[in-house]
Amino acid sequence: MKGLHIQGLSHSYGDNKVLDNAGLIVPAGELVCMLGPSGCGKSTLLRLAAGLEKVQHGKIIIDDVTVGSADVHLPPEKRHIGLMFQDYALFPHLNVIDNVTFGLLDMAPDKARLLAMDMLTQVGMAAQSDKFPHMLSGGQQQRVALARALAPEPKLLLLDEPFSGLDTNLRETIREETLSVLKNSGVATLMVTHDPEEAMFMADRIKIIGANGHILQAGRPHEIYYHPTHEFVARLFGMMNRFEGVAADGQVETPLGAVATDLADGTPAEVLIRPEGVILGTSDNNQGTTVEVTSSHLMGHDNIVRVRLGNGEGEDLHVRVHHTFEAELKESFSCRLDHEYAFVFPLDAESEYTNTELMDAPTSEEISAAGE
Amino acid sequence: MVELSEDFKLQYEALDSDHQKLVEMVNEISGMLDEGCAEDCKAKVVEFINFTKAHFAREEQLLTKSGYPNVENHSRHHKALDKKMDHLLEFASMVTVNELACDSLKKELVFFVMDDVISSDLDFKSFLENIPS
Ligand SMILES: Nc1ncnc2c1ncn2[C@@H]1O[C@H](COP(=O)(O)OP(=O)(O)O)[C@@H](O)[C@H]1O
Ligand SMILES: [Fe+2]
Ligand SMILES: [Fe+2]
Ligand SMILES: [Mg+2]
């Protein structure tokens, strides 16, 4: 298969087993994101794929050639890969064009120059070709790094948190530009990130990693968001409303109504509901559960409204509404569920990942604090 | 075109031949889409999914019979692919009216067969090496 194939990769640093039988494929032309919490072994896997570290167990295959295994170790420069790592910065003593031609030493110099200029044009940096890295902004350095990685026409591009050094506004722009350059080049790309939104935006396919490089779920961004198969995955994309219950007759009761499940009757369950899955309506039509607004605050271009269930029991719910919807304090609404955003998981599921520090998503405590 | 290279093989004939057949079906569906025969593709996707489910059942039976210790995990993995197969069917229903669905279906089939189905079986490759095939 053209592209990258990682098989049964296990890796330890001393007694610390960082990867345990990790595997994945990146077909030519596709962009796969590995998304996982800090310390789960993402960078280790990327360094092994790049050849910056030797394989202890398992296999790394690029375009049907085994480049790394317990017996084989092809050095990075022989793997036909492009790298963009945080700690793999531009060479400070070389100007932009020399940085980009650096990987083209096998080529006739004038040809290499032409190719490099072409790459720099693609990333919008042709005019800066004789500048030195310290004369460039962070975003410009990033564009040059991308040009350098792609110039030798690698079979595989490995990106390790490539945008994490950039501030929020710039990050979005550079992300978009990078994505369009990558899609044009058709190179197989494996990108590592701990930012769920970044993975959503960039990836053809997301691989969610828990502890030990263990894959929890793989799928299109849409699939991961709307059909999480694991509680940890559901929680990645921001705060959740949560109820506990017991499965009976194919559903679990919540104060907002029953949610369908295929858990066996009698299984203790938790129901997680995204804030956009709670729908507020006027309270006089007598449908749904009555709730009272306890706070409201702007988050991005939405309002997050906190509401309390009518009986005054339990925690407040978070509701995502359009920013033009301004709820008054103590105002009453009726409240119902959009089942597309409600997920049921067994309560006794291996709690292996539930304590893992969640990623960039704000916690409900942070949201509460912001509103007070 | 995808192919079942040596690296994806379990060296266990009964399962490898199923996998081979799955890969061939994926290539066939891709070919139909490329040649503009989208109408016939839905039936082929249904056939592919039925074969996949039958394969999962055969594989789980074999693993159980041979005493593979993680058979329950692997069955759970197969079960979790039900939703994905539903999505494949959805895409297949849309290919005649939507070119994007066509691309998505081709892409999803490759990931499904190579990554979700075949690569994940490599977990028990070394176990199978020690039982007669
Ligand atoms: N060179 C190293 N020596 C020892 N331990 C390491 C080394 N590199 C990484 N680790 C450890 O391996 C684990 C995984 O690290 P890493 O792959 O960098 O995770 P991630 O990129 O997902 O944050 C961490 O516990 C880290 O401390
Ligand atoms: Fe299989
Ligand atoms: Fe399987
Ligand atoms: Mg890292």
Residue A346 domain flag: no
For A169-192, write each residue's pLDDT tens digit: 889 999 999 999 999 999 999 999
Q: A63 CB near a chain B CB, below 8 Å?
A: no
Among the ranges given (A67-81, A294-308, B42-56), the one the predictor scored with the smallest mean pLDDT: A294-308
Judge whether A83 lies within some domain.
yes
| Confidence check: pLDDT of A124 > 70 | yes
Q: Which residues contact A292 (CB under 8 A, 6 or more apart)?
A: A307, A308, A310, A330, A331, A332, A333
Are the C-beta atoms of A36 and A189 separated by less than 8 Å? no
pTM listed for this prediction: 0.89
Whether the per-residue pLDDT at A300 is higher than 90: the answer is no
One domain for residues A290 and A199 = no
CA distance A210 to A225: 17
Of A280, A270, A271, which Cα lies nearest the Cα of A332?
Answer: A280
A115 pLDDT above the threshold of 60: yes
Whether residue A354 is predicted with pLDDT greater than 90 in this model: the reply is: no
What sign has the CA pseudo-torsion B56, A251, A226, B105?
Answer: positive
Query: How near does any CA of chain B get to the CA of A209, in Å?
Result: 15
Residues A130 and A184 in one domain: yes
Together in a domain, A108 and A39:
yes
Q: How far is A338 from chain B (nearest CA, A)?
A: 19
Within this chain, do residues A324 and A358 fall inside the same structural domain, yes or no? Answer: no
Each residue's pLDDT tens digit, A216-250: 999 999 999 999 999 999 999 888 999 999 999 99
**Inter-chain CB proximity A61 and B7 less than 8 Å:** yes
Q: Which of A252, A170, A249, A213 is nearest to A353 (CA)?
A: A213
Residue that is written with structure tokens 């050095």 in the block = A75
Backbone dihedral angles phi then psi of residue B117, each to the nearest 5 degrees? -95, -60
Of A192, A162, A196, the residue nearest A360 (C-alpha): A196
With a CB cutoff of 8 Å and minimum separation 6, the contacts of A127 are: none
Q: Does B73 touch chain A (CB under 8 A)?
A: no
pLDDT at B71: 95
| CATH number for the domain that contains residue A328 | 2.40.50.140
Structure tokens at A271: 């129901």
Q: Tell whether A31 is within 8 A of chain B (Cβ).
A: no
Measure Cα distances from A172 to A164, A177, B69, B127 in Å: 11, 9, 46, 46
pLDDT at A127 over 60: yes
Torsions phi, psi for B36 (to 5 deg):
75, 20
pLDDT score of A283: 62
Domain of residue A262: give its range: 239-337
Q: What is B11-128's CATH superfamily?
A: Hemerythrin-like (1.20.120.50)
Give me the number of domains chain A comprises.
2
Percent of chain A whose pLDDT exceeds 90: 69
For A75, phi then psi, to 5°, come to -65, 155
Chain A residues with beta carbon closer than 8 angstroms to that of B119: 5, 7, 23-25
Q: Is residue A342 part of a domain?
A: no
Query: Looking at the predicted structure, is the pLDDT value of residue A362 above 70?
Result: no
Same domain, A7 and A79: yes
The reply to whether A105 falls in a domain is yes
- Does residue A343 fall inside a structural domain? no
Residue A10 pairs in a beta bridge with A57
CB of B87 within 8 Å of a chain A CB? The answer is yes
- Residue whose CA is at the smallest distance from ligand 1 atom 7: A13
**H-type alpha helices, A22-157:** 42-50, 96-101, 109-122, 138-150
What DSSP line would sit under A299-324, residue for residue? ETTEEEEEEEETT--SPPEEEEEETT
What band does A349 get if pLDDT is binned at 50, 70 and 90? low
Provide the pLDDT for residue B121: 95
> What number of C-beta contacts closer than 8 Å exist between A and B?
52
Query: Does position A87 have pLDDT exceeding 70, yes or no?
Result: no
Give residue A1's pLDDT. Answer: 83
Q: Does residue A208 belong to the interface with chain B, where contact is any CB pair within 8 Å? A: no
Contact A238, A363 (CB under 8 A): no
Per-residue pLDDT tens digits for B60-83: 999 999 999 999 999 999 999 999
The 10s digit of each residue's pLDDT in A210-221 is 877 778 999 999
Between A272 and A356, whose confidence is greater? A272
Q: What is the CA radius of gyration of chain B?
A: 15
What is the SS3 assignment for B109? helix
**A209 alpha-carbon distance from chain centroid:** 10
Task: Tell which atom from ligand 1 comes closest to the C-alpha of A42.
Answer: 22
Segment 97-116 of chain B within 8 Å of chain A by CB = 104, 107-108, 110-111, 114-116
For residues A201 and A255, membership in a common domain is answered with no
User: Do the Cβ atoms of B115 and A219 come within 8 Å?
Assistant: no
Of A314 and A111, the structure prediction assigns the larger pLDDT to A111
Q: Out of A42-46, A123-127, A323-327, B21-25, which region has the weakest mean confidence (pLDDT)? A: A323-327
B111/A21 CB distance under 8 A: no
Q: Name which residue leads in pLDDT, B75 or B37.
A: B75
Same domain, A204 and A256: no
Run of H or E including A170 = helix A168-185
Q: Which residues have CB under 6 Å of ligand 1? A: A 13, 16, 18, 36, 38-44
% pLDDT > 70, chain A: 91
Ligand 1 pocket test target in A10, A12, A17, A18 with most atoms within 8 Å of CB: A18
pLDDT of residue A284: 62
Is the pLDDT at A13 greater than 90? The verdict is yes
Is the residue at A273 inside a domain?
yes
Contacting residues of B for A223, CB less than 8 Å apart = 83-84, 87
Check B7 against A27: CB less than 8 A apart: no
Closest CA to B100 of A319, A204, A122, A137: A204
B69 interfacial to chain A (CB closer than 8 Å): no
Residues from chain B contacting residue A5 (CB–CB below 8 Å): 7-8, 119
Is the same domain home to A298 and A203? Answer: no
β strands within chain A, DSSP E: 3-13, 16-27, 31-35, 57-62, 65-69, 81-85, 156-160, 188-193, 205-209, 215-219, 241-246, 251-254, 257-260, 268-273, 278-282, 289-299, 302-309, 317-322, 332-337, 342-346
